[in-house]
Amino acid sequence: MTLVKHELKQGNVSFWVWTVSIGLLMATCIFLFPEMKSQMEDVSDIFASMGSFTAAFGMDRLNFGTLVGFYGIECGNVLGLGGAFYASLCAVGVLSKEERERTAEFLLSHPISRARIVTEKLVAVLVQIAAMDLVAYTLSIGSIAIIGEQIPWMEINLIHLAFFLLQMELAGICFGVSAFMRKGSIGIGLGIAAMMYVLNLVANISESVEIFKYISPFGYTESADIITDGCLDGAKVAIGMAVCVLGIAAAYLKYTKKDIA
């Protein structure tokens, strides 16, 4: 697992920057809740009457005056976008950077198969994403305990599980894309994550394109749906995980036959 350790060491700074930023933003939102709690009922009424904007973010179905409603919108947006961008950035250049940095020949000269290279790089990506989620989850639970609110375990666990699966799907897609690239591109990773986010917003606004919810991984991370239903949408999750597996499979197929210079 030498390559795994090498990848983790290379991504150490990026990991802590993203993890601390996401974790502290979520904790800040939670610490603000007691001060805003008494005003949230009026805010909920205002948001409920804002038409398409309200529907786009699911604010018409959540009560800002409750911790779980506030958490679903505020912390959900932070973890959703931040986690999506981080997962995409971790995966999109991991296979192509050897060519970009001209270290491919050195790496491939070692007695290690290309399949193993892909496997160890994939493990490193998944470890970083899982560690980021664990830190964010721990900070969130600790922050809720500090402000003295009762922890809605089921809802928070489901919300975090949904965002973890979203990050896995985006990482799988970007990991597959990375195998086809000769030079890693941050822009492509961010673009894929942003595009998926926008597709879900459009689907929330217009029922005529609800199919986008099955294309975008953000479709099964809607806090309003999770809190209302008490579960994740199995069909959307299954499609998302299938896409993740296809992306990873594409990476193996391409990288093992790729002409690497």
- Find, among 187, 184, 190, 171, the residue nearest to 248 by Cα: 171
The pLDDT profile of the chain, 261 residues, written as one tens digit per residue, is: 778 888 899 889 999 999 999 999 999 999 988 877 766 655 555 555 555 555 555 666 677 778 888 898 889 889 999 999 999 999 998 887 766 655 555 555 566 787 888 899 999 999 999 999 999 999 999 999 999 889 999 999 999 999 999 999 999 999 999 888 876 678 889 999 999 999 988 888 877 788 998 999 999 998 888 988 889 999 999 999 999 999 999 999 988 887 665
SS (H, E, C) the chain: CHHHHHHHHHCHHHHHHHHHHHHHHHHHHHHHHHHHHHHHHHHHHHHHCCCHHHHHHCCCCCCCCCHHHHHHHHHHHHHHHHHHHHHHHHHHCCCCHHHHCCCHHHHHCCCCCHHHHHHHHHHHHHHHHHHHHHHHHHHHHHHHHHCCCCCCHHHHHHHHHHHHHHHHHHHHHHHHHHHHCCCCCHHHHHHHHHHHHHHHHHHHHCHHHCCHHHHCHHHHCCHHHHHHHCCCCHHHHHHHHHHHHHHHHHHHHHHCCCCCC
Give per-residue pLDDT as tens, 216-248: 999 999 888 898 888 999 999 999 999 999 999
Q: Name the residue ranges covered by the structural domains of the chain.
A: 2-255
- CA 126, CA 115: separation in Å to the nearest integer? 17
Q: Around 79, how many Cα atoms within 13 Å sit in the side-chain half-sphere? A: 36
